[in-house]
Every structure is written in C-alpha cells, then in structure tokens.
Structure 1
Amino acid sequence: MSDKLVLAVPSKGRLQENANAFFARAGLTVTTGRGARDYRGALTGVDNVEVAFLSASEIVKNLASGAAHFGVTGEDLVREAQAESKVALLTPLGFGHANVVVAVPQAWIDVRNMADLEDVASAFRARSGERMRVATKYVNTTRAFFRDKGVTDYHIVESLGATEGAPAAGQAELIVDITSTGATLVANGLKVLDDGVILRSEANLVAALGAEWSPAQRELARKILSRIAAEEEARNSREIVAVLEQEPSGLEDGLLAFGAKVRRRGGNGRAIFTAPKAQAPALADWLIGQGAEEVVVRPVDYVFTRVNPLHERLTSRLDAVR
C-alpha cells in the first residue's frame, strides 16, 4: 500500500492556470513530470504528493471512486454526478464562477418563471401530442430542479455539443446549461427564467471520503490544508500597526466591534493588531480618533493558527464515514 497522496487538478485551460495559481499562493507549486503533455506531476513544498492532470469531469469520477484524495473541480459537476455523499467540499476557490440555468427562447414573452413553463409544457403536449424537449448535459440536476418546481411534462434530450444552439436547430424547445456571463445565451436568442438559476457554481477544493486515508496520508493532507488555510486567512486579513501614547479606554470593546485582536504590544506604545480586510480602514480611522498619530495597514503572507478549519472539516467527514 502506497502512502502517496493523489491530488487531481484540471489538465488544461483557464481552470488549470487558476488552480496552479491557487496552490502557488499557498507556497505549493504544481510541477509537471517530463513535460507539458505528461499527465502526472508533483507538488513542490510537500513531499510524497502525486499530481494527476485530468479533465474536470474525470476529477469528479476519481474523487467519487477514491482514486484521488483531493481534487479541484466545479460544484456543478459534483452535484450532477450525485457524489455529495462520497466527497467533501472543503472550500470554494474564488474562480470558475458559472451558473447552471434554465433558458427559454426570448420569443416566449409570456414565460418568465418555472410556473409559466409548466403551463407551456401542458399546452405543447395538447397541441403536438409530444412532450416539451429540454436539451442539457445536466440530466440529474435538471430532473431534480424540475421536480422541485412541479414541472413534469417534458423530455430530456442529452446534449453532446453546444447546448445553447439546440432550440435554433430544432432539437429542443429549451435548455439547461451552464453560463458565466449569459452572452452566449443572448446571442442564441435565449433568456434565463427569473427563478431559473439552479446552482451558482465555482471551483472547489474537494476531498474523497472513500479514498485510502492512512495516517501518513492524513498528515500530508494536514500540511497541505494548513498552508491553504494560512494563505486564505492572510488574504482576508490585514495587519495594523499603531503607536498610542496611552491605551484608550474601551480598547478591547473597540477591537471586538471591528472583529480585530491584539497580536502584540511593544515599547513606546507600539501595538500590532489583526483585523478582517474589509474592517481595516475603519479600524485605522478609529485608532486615529483614539490618539494614534499614524496607523500603518499592511498585508501579510500567511496566518497559521493552531486550529485549522479545513483540516477539521476533512477529519470530521472522514471520521463520520469510518
């Protein structure tokens, strides 16, 4: 039995670039083996990690089967594969944003929501003797959403090509597809229903619950997640340095209001605080009001903490299935 940890990342395109940048920010560089066409690589910074370069859909399959321990893939693919019980979505990564939506022809001016769609489906069946066709690659997602919305009289046409072109080509009456800007839908004469956003998806760091998790592999996971959590915490935090001739009354309450805390105090009234990035300017202004002559706000590279929320999330899910 190998104690190597397998990390599956996208094999090409913008998703690969963003995934590599995500790990690099955490001090973990994804490297290829013999060249750009090699499908195996390594993770510089943590030994005994094998990187597998796969398509986004293959990553979900490998995670669901336990062939990979970690993977970077879209939440939409996890939901479509109905793999929620087999994997743990550890953290969204801030890229790969796209929505899975229900889109109908713009010419359907009286169809604005899913309730209208049920009426259209009934009328279509009465007129043509056939069920309304929905073109999609998201078969399971579509069935679940339509069931929840009470739309039953339809037929799914599984799309193998450009789904947005199916209505114009006469292959379907409407579609369920993924879109990031909606521009392609508009270009094909389609509109998203008012309540037709099924899922707001983005890339996630996903863990396989059914993989072999030896003590050595769990330790590798802890190291990786520690760096990722430290970078994430640092990205969302700011360090504030101020010199106060005397400590203001109600300092602790003031810091609490800004979600800040004291990191350390030095001589000559110098103090260093940490605060959420969004609250840093307001905290700096408050400190000036409390007598500080100057307040410096600066980013930090990493914030390591004794409690790692990502590792705790993984451990709790693994322990629950074992």
Structure 2
Amino acid sequence: MSTQLQQRGAAVPCASRRACRLGSSSSARSSSKPLGSAAARRQDARAAALQVVCSLNNSAGTMAPKPAKLEARETLRLALPSKGRMAEDTLQLLKDCQLSVVKPNPRQYVARISQLPGLEVWFQRATDVVRKIIYGDVDLGIVGLDMLAEIGNDDPDVIILHDALDFGQCHLALGVPMGGRFAAVNTLEELRAMPWSEQAPLRVVTGYQNIARKFFAEKGFEHVVLLSADGALEAAPAMGSADIILDLVSTGVTLRENNLKQIEGGTIMHSEGALVANRRALLERPGLLEICHELIERLEAHLTADKYYSVIANMRGESAQEVSKRLLDVPGLAGLSGPTVSPVFTRGTSGGAEPHLFAAVICVPKKQLYPAVKEIRRVGGSGVLVQPMTYIFDEEPARWTQLLETLGITADGLNIK
C-alpha cells in the first residue's frame, strides 16, 4: 500500500514494515512548480516520483489543519526544552542574560521570568516546541535548528529570530561503514554510484525522515528505504539491519567507535540552539514584539560580549594621541571602534597628582588574547589587566531590524524604549 508524497510527508499506516521507502513510480505525477532549468526539471521529477510506503516516525505523520485564528489569551508564551543538555544550556543562557526562569514546583511545566512580566514559560519536548509554535499554542520557543527543519518542514508561520545561540552545536550527517563494500566509499557521489536497485535499495536508519527525503531526492538517489529506530542508530549497520545512518554528530567519536565514517558531501546541515516565533502571533498578539526586542537585544549583547575580553594596560607615551596611534598601527589592537586612552595620575615629587602614564582600554577577541598582550607590551604597555565582558550593546540589533523587514512593519507605534 502506498501514497504519493505530499508537502508534509503524510504517511500510510503499516504494521508489517518499519520503513519509509523512496523509489520511482510510473504513475507519479509531475511537480506543478515552474521549471527553470534541465537540472531543476530532473530534481522535480525525482521528488514527484518519491513514494511513502510506510513510516512509524511521528515527524512524518499527517498534521492537523491550523486554526483559522489564534486563540485569545491574556499571557504570552515561551516554550523551552524540558530535558537534556539543550534544556540545561537554554536555562544557563537565559540566566547569563539576567533572565532567571522561576519554577515554583519542579514537577510543573509552567514557569515565569520575573524580568518579563506577562510572559509564561512552558517546558516541552523539543519536537513539541516546534509543533506548538506552528499551531500558535505558544508564541516563542528555543529549539535546535535540526528539529526545526525536521518538524517545521519550512512552515511559513515559523520565523527564526536568532539562529546562533552558541550552544547545542552539531551537524546532521551520514555515517557510513568503514569496511566491507563501503571501504572505498569516501564521497556522496561514490555512495550514489553503488548498484542500488528496487530489490536492493540503500537502507538508511534515521530519526530525521523529512530531512532525509529532501536530501536524497535533491542528491539524485532513486532507491532508498528510510528506517525508524528509537536509539542506538550506530549499531544498525553492524547488525545488518541498515546500510548507513543519518544522525546528529558532535565530535564524531561515537561514529568512529562504531566503525562508521563521515564522507565528503554527506553533511546535510549544521545546527545549534535558535530562538523562533509564530509569525501570526508576532503580528497579532499585543506586546509580543516588545518582548522579542528585549530578548534579541539581551541575547545579542551577551553573545557578542562573550567572544571578547576587556584589556586595560598602562602605556608610556608623550600624549594620548601618540599612544593611540601606536595601538592603531598594530593589527588586532584597535578594539571594536578604537582604543580608549586616558591619563593615569601618580603622586609626584611635590606630593601632588601628576600624569606619567596613559591607560589604554581595548576589546580583544578571546582567541587572540595572548598574542595581543605580547603586542601591547612590545609597544610600551605594562600592568596589563584582563577582564571578562558581560554585555556589548549596539545601537540596534541587526536581527531586530531584519525581523521588522521580514514582517513588513516598522517600529513606529511599538512601546520600545
């Protein structure tokens, strides 16, 4: 039993097979999209020919229609991951931005952020964070880009407010056996060129079936079976239940320890934590844009500052201008907009305060700290102090301006101070 692949990857229930089969069909209809080139026509033909035979993966199931209008409620809602490393990193980031999530009872799923009155925090599974944003049950959410791509499936009602929260970094990639018939396979082209057929298709075990469908269709694979598993995907090729895996990779150690390798062209996407929102909620719910502005501004200021150290050094020189020029002439010592130089007063021979040195303050990228300190000393610096930075506020975050452009609105009339 089979059905033509639809936009959201609707699945046909099947109790006898744990697989989603991608293969050609003589009865498949052509895509209705305009064809711009021969390559585009071939890709559309492949996508039109893909069929779903069976899937037990929830993300591939048919989704209920969205409500015609958002449900009226007095509070705004932010959904956060409820378990795992993503949940811990999310709460830590908010805490670093002086946004403390207060949950009176650890068994409750609802919490508050005292600095943002009127905003409820709802703890949800990562998949449900995306689903509830799509339907408007929550207005904002923090989730990994991989889960957003898998469950969101390019839904137009989901808008990314911040795509780089600097935690949960990983990438979605293929894991191919190191030995056997895959020993000489080191590129995606070599994998595709293997003698796959309808009788002997490429078997891929993955929890990302929507992403997998698109990837293999775009890359020209014709005979693929997608298999579902609840965990331990890396064991499937060794057991013989699958040929390769498609899963998240952080360091690659787990792949290597299970005799799997990454191949050239086999990385599907890079992922990390992201702040997302429901488009209709942004346009219709009073006060939501103001909260988004504050969240974006706090996040941007902290994440930018977290990449720098504040460096203060005593500098010998004839004047502030002369000291500034020495620093500006050295690459990497200009700071964000230039050094701040001011006189340092010491007690003179007469007992009064006299300027003998200048204090130079600059921002230095963390990765370049030690080379920068060496250069400061080389141009006459001493007593170098290094301090962490908490925030660097810009005039207006670029991501906020981009959001307004995406929504087609201006900041006029918004209560933003």
Q: TM-score interval w.r.t. the shorter chain?
A: 0.7 to 0.9
Larger radius of gyration between Structure 1 and Structure 2: 2
* Alignment match, 1:316: 405
Partner SS state of residue 116, structure 2: coil
* Alignment match, 2:229: 159
Structure number with the bigger relative contact order (C-alpha 8 A, sep ≥ 6) is 1
Q: TM-score if structure 1 supplies the norm length?
A: 0.84
Matched, 1:277 2:354: no
Matched, 1:91 2:163: yes
Q: Structure 1: how far apart are the matches of 2:244 and 2:184?
A: 14
Alignment of 1:206-225 (within 5 A): 206-213=276-283, 214-225=285-296
Contact 2:170 2:250 in 1 (8 A): yes
1:173 to 243, 246, 253: 243
Q: Structure 1: how far apart are the matches of 2:393 and 2:140?
A: 21
* Alignment match, 1:104: 176
Q: Which runs of 5+ in 1 are unaligned?
A: none
Partner SS state of residue 166, structure 1: helix
Q: Structure 1: how far apart are the matches of 2:368 and 2:259?
A: 44
CA offset digits 1:206-257 (Å, max 9, x no partner): 2332324445221122222222222122212222223344232635743775
Note closer, same or farther for the CA distance 1:217–1:294 as it changes in structure 2 (3 Å cut): same
Note closer, same or farther for the CA distance 1:60–1:266 as it changes in structure 2 (3 Å cut): farther
Dislocated runs of 4+, deviation >6 Å: none
Counterpart amino acid of residue 150 in structure 1: G
2:384 to 295, 309, 312: 295
Q: Structure 2: how far apart are the matches of 1:279 and 1:25?
A: 23
* Alignment match, 2:97: 26
Matched, 1:5 2:76: yes
Q: Which runs of 5+ in 2 are unaligned?
A: 1-71, 345-354, 410-417
CA offset digits 1:101-156 (Å, max 9, x no partner): 21233322122222222222xx2428xx3433222221121122223332222222
Note closer, same or farther for the CA distance 1:242–1:215 as it changes in structure 2 (3 Å cut): farther
Q: Structure 2: how far apart are the matches of 1:170 and 1:287?
A: 60
Between 1:261-270 and 1:107-116, the stretch displaced more is 261-270
Q: Structure 1: how far apart are the matches of 2:275 and 2:378?
A: 42
Q: Structure 1: how far apart are the matches of 2:218 and 2:84?
A: 35
Matched, 1:119 2:211: no
Partner SS state of residue 141, structure 1: helix
Matched, 1:233 2:304: yes
Matched, 1:242 2:316: no
Note closer, same or farther for the CA distance 1:311–1:2 as it changes in structure 2 (3 Å cut): farther
Q: Structure 1: how far apart are the matches of 2:372 and 2:271?
A: 33
Q: CA RMSD in A?
A: 2.9
Q: Count residues in correspondence.
A: 316
Partner SS state of residue 280, structure 2: coil
* Alignment match, 2:145: 75
Higher helix share: 1
Q: Structure 2: how far apart are the matches of 1:208 and 1:274?
A: 37
Instruction: Report the identity percentage.
Output: 27
Contact 1:7 1:70 in 2 (8 A): yes
Between 1:23-32 and 1:255-264, the stretch displaced more is 255-264
Between 1:68-77 and 1:303-312, the stretch displaced more is 303-312
Q: CA deviation at 1:167?
A: 3.2
